[in-house]
Structure 1
Amino acid sequence: MRPLTYSRATDIDDAIALAAANPDSAFLAGGTTEVDLIRAGMSGTRHLVDINDLPLSAVEGGPGGGLLIGALARMSDVARAPSVVRRYPAISQALLLSASQQLRNMASIGGNLRQRTRCAYFRDGVSPCNKREPGSGCAALDGWNRGHAILGTSERCIATHPSDVAVALVALDAVIQTMGPDGERAIPSDDFFLLPGTTPETEQPLARGELIVGIAVPGAPVAARSTYLKFRDRQSYEFALVSVAAALETDDGIVTDVRLALGGVGTKPWRARRAEAALIGGPADEAAFGRAASAELAHAVAREHNAFKIEVTRRAMVRALSHTLKGARP
């Protein structure tokens, strides 16, 4: 194992300066992802900047009735926060369906958003992988690709993003707040996760030394009528084959607002905008939900082992919307 150096940041400016000074730095919060990657030889990190002393763990109200989640808030604390459970149930449910209780107690929200793919070819250290070694190829294209993406893929990469809560945050138009050497930024969550295109090694638009400090979720009324459904091979401690974050608002049987995002099927948390557009102004019933899901999946690209995801995703979208609709009724 290669040697590592370590610094403990005293405040946000100190953390940014420490990380910016060393091109091989990484921020250390819960460490549930970064430490694993270092141990497996998947990370080039040589210097860890511990940020656990920074005042970034609050879960509190935001402007316009929204929600502010500090980047160091632990997943379990966010999931159980009364304001999250009551006003943003999809976020709470997504967190409770993530990992194990022990990991949820340790992992930070900011770290969860920055975790790397669980593609076995990326993590085995020897197979061709354009994320790990740009230009080497993608072993998953013709390999065992049952768990891989059908949306947002390219000939360079078909790996999925593993986060559950990111799917709910994308559905609810959350904004990622950062601070870095060039100042503060507010990045829409849908723009925070990048499609692989020809550069799958670049997953997020963060500069060296740029630190996630919080997540702002708008106070849209539709968020209170949201849900997160997750379909996986086993019922605990397993990543999604397909997941859906859905929020729905209706008036006299007509869809007036809808938010949809998919997990387990996209190379990033996938905002289902085609489906949303198909639903707005139309009837809120299972037939309409099915048509909207089919419209979203018309551009899916399946591989040898993951074609089943198209039908499972369609059914999952219909179920999530139907479940949300029933829950929204008085």
Structure 2
Amino acid sequence: MVRKAVLPVAGWGTRFLPATKAMPKEMFPIIDKPVIQFIVEECLEAGIENIIFVTGRHKRPIEHHFDINTDLEKHLEHAGKTEILRNIFHISRIINPIYIRQKEQLGLGHAVLVAEPVVGNEPFVVALGDVIVKDEKNVVERMIEVYQRFGKSVIAVFEVSPKEVSQYGIVSCRHIERDIYILDDLVEKPHPDEAPSNLAIVGRYLFTPTIFEKLKVTPPGKGGELQLTDAMRLVLEEEAIYAIKIKAKVYDTGTPLGYIRTLVEFALQREDLKEPLLDFLKDLLSRDIPQIHRT
């Protein structure tokens, strides 16, 4: 059984400084819910309650968010705000959070390796803390289904445009059936002319314990960091890695523009915000502001 999920959230969030000096980017709100909660809820819906946060010393707000706040709950109860109370009551009690420190920022691969003492010798999910995935089918649940069938590591991939391949890890793979593929190779952020495909890794992985063995012998890669994709290539030398191709909407909140796009799209999906926001955007575009270029 897949019982644990690792969420690497120790990064500095330098693209958002100075905002991230005191507030982790994973805690930035998408209207009224922090980014990290969307990822945690995805894992919970897939039946995973043991959430391992790989954090740093500046990530305390994440710990506070998933803790029980009895004073706040009493205040909401006395104020009759039952819906809000139900939301915060649920998330703080259904999750079993485990926090482990990544003392040095040595890359995503290192963050995953740091979790080995807690994960142990069992399969586990890795979900990036700044990528929200919205699909009709829970992606983590679908990955678990494929793992239970083949008993090997599984990743989620999605199609990107040729000009975007340099922003992602790109896979070379063979189609097996329906949405299932088997990997031949993967390349981290290739030049568009050198990309083996346009299938990009989403930020959802399901690994067998073999990944820990390979991370321990993977040499430092780009930027002197331990790259997860380099370790995955070593895994491929010994055992298969499968991929599921998803048609989900992938929201990368790890950049300012990606965060803004996510915020706007989520607001437009809410009935209480859609019309007022559309009116505001139309008014904004109608003004004679040189910085706004009409399409």
**TM-score by shorter chain over 0.5:** no
**Hey, which of these two has a bigger chunk of strand by percent?**
2
- Which bracket does the TM-score occupy, shorter chain normalised? under 0.3
Please give the TM-score of this superposition, normalised by the length of structure 2: 0.25
**Hey, which of these two has a bigger chunk of helix by percent?**
2
More RCO (CA 8 Å, sep 6+): 2
